[in-house]
Amino acid sequence: MKKIRSTTILALRHNGEVVVAGDGQVSLGSTIIKHQARKVRRLYHDKVITGFAGSTADALTLYDKLEQKLEQFNGNLLRAAVELAKDWRTDKYLRRLEAMLIAVDKEYSLLLSGTGDVIEADDGILAIGSGGPYAQAAATALVRHADLDAEAIVQAAMKIAGSICVYTNQNVVLEKI
């Protein structure tokens, strides 16, 4: 999988809750261009939460494609994600897109990539972007060793990632189901 820099997106499924968070920093090389971007959004009648890492224009294209697939398959996230991944991998135009997505609903938490990956984590924790590994490690530790709800875990993990990754800030957008 290609490493996408310049953001942190974290999804956590814990104790019946599903939370997705993303930082707000937009970087161009080593320069911060924006501090409060919204990289987490809802799709399909607010039933699916998504977050992206990578090129904004590419991610917006993928959001549109995922929304079309969700409509086509009546909100079935798994089926829509698999069909999007097939198109993303085989379509000449889509194949060049440089972004990754996390998409969650009440049933599934999925990571989608341009190499055709549709991955569901064993532990309910998914993360992408340059700060993703930091947020994922923090969330894993907090799930195992702290008595916190999903939202508190995600907020703490994003704060930790933002304190370590220079491409991640503390302006977090959080959505939950």
CATH superfamily of the domain spanning 9-172: Aminohydrolase, N-terminal nucleophile (Ntn) domain (3.60.20.10)
Confidence of residue 56 (pLDDT cuts 50, 70, 90): confident
Domain boundaries in the chain? 9-172
Beta strand spans in the chain (E): 9-14, 17-23, 26-28, 31-34, 40-43, 48-54, 99-104, 109-112, 118-119, 125-128, 172-176
Residue 7 falls in the annotated catalytic set: yes
Q: What is the pTM of this model?
A: 0.93
- Given 7, 8, 50, 168, the catalytic residue: 7
Count CB atoms within 10 A of the CB of residue 150.
22
Question: Given this model, what pLDDT does residue 5 score?
Answer: 57
Question: Given this model, what pLDDT does residue 2 score?
Answer: 47
Rounded distance between C-alpha atoms, residue 3 and residue 142, angstroms: 24
Mind listing the pLDDT tens digit for each residue in 16-29? 999 999 999 988 88
In the numeric block, which tokens belong to residue 21?
Answer: 């968070």
